[in-house]
Amino acid sequence: MNSFASTIRALPCSAPAQDLYSRVFDAILEQRIDAHSRFTEDSLAQMFGVRRSDIRGVLTRLSHQHVIVLRANHRPRVALLEGEQTRQMLHARRLTEVTLVRLVCQQSCPQDLQPLRDLLASERECTAPGAAIRLAGEFHLCLAQMAGNAPLAHFLGSLVPLSSLAIAQSGARLAEDCVWSVHAQMLAAVEGRNADVAVGLLNRHLDHLEALLLNPQPTLIRSRVAG
């Protein structure tokens, strides 16, 4: 039995699809399931205490986000991002998300922003490293959903999970308060419909992310990373 399978512990109950997705993605972001893990639908179903069909749905969703690689007659595996793939992903994300943030500032009303406030509260309280990275990404995806452009939001939905995976695989450690504080500033700018400020905050956030992932240095302060 391989080392991954030997550490499997069944969890007590099944979970709704979204909750199961979050739990599996958190395990990937925490490197409990990494690019070198040898797992199957059955072993993951046992690990998370759910049905194999439930795991299959989560793996399919993660494969659409390019986090999991599914190939016929092969075990599923976590994608291992290379430098050029990461560079292209970050470039595409910047071009897409800047447009979405401007659209949100044009269209949003204060009462529409409660989901973002709820996510911000969850980020502030989160202490688990994998969940912290995932929640930071969900803030950006929730913002995109409010922009009123479904194709662009869908495209960003394929880029942000890859950003999260790249952060996790880089081994970056997150400062406890910095990520949610940047998001709080972005939310304030969106509430005030100040597109220039919101885009400026986003660009500085992505600049730091690019520096971390594309030009890693041992002395680099790894803060304001997730998202």
What CA–CA distance (Å, rounded) separates 86 from 17?
A: 28
Q: Reduce the secondary structure of 147-191 to three states and give it as a string.
A: CCCHHHHHHHHHHHHHHHHHHHHHCCCCCCCHHHHHHHHHHHHHH
Q: Which fold has domain 83-214?
A: Four Helix Bundle (Hemerythrin (Met), subunit A) (1.20.120)
pLDDT in tens, the chain (227 residues): 444 443 333 333 444 778 999 999 999 999 999 888 989 999 999 999 999 999 999 999 999 999 999 998 899 999 999 889 999 999 999 999 999 999 999 987 777 899 999 999 999 998 898 999 999 999 999 999 999 999 999 999 999 999 999 999 987 654 444 678 899 999 999 999 999 999 999 999 999 889 888 886 554 444 444 56
Q: What is the reported pLDDT for 216?
A: 63
Q: What is the reported pLDDT for 170?
A: 86
Q: What is the DSSP letter of 15?
A: -
Q: What is the reported pLDDT for 131?
A: 92
Q: What is the reported pLDDT for 219?
A: 41
In CATH terms, 3-78 corresponds, of 1.10.10.10, 3.40.50.300, 3.50.30.30, 3.40.190.10, to 1.10.10.10
Tell me the domain boundaries of the chain: 3-78, 83-214
Give the pTM: 0.83
The one-letter code for the residue type at 56 is R
What CA–CA distance (Å, rounded) separates 169 from 128?
A: 16
Q: What is the reported pLDDT for 177?
A: 42
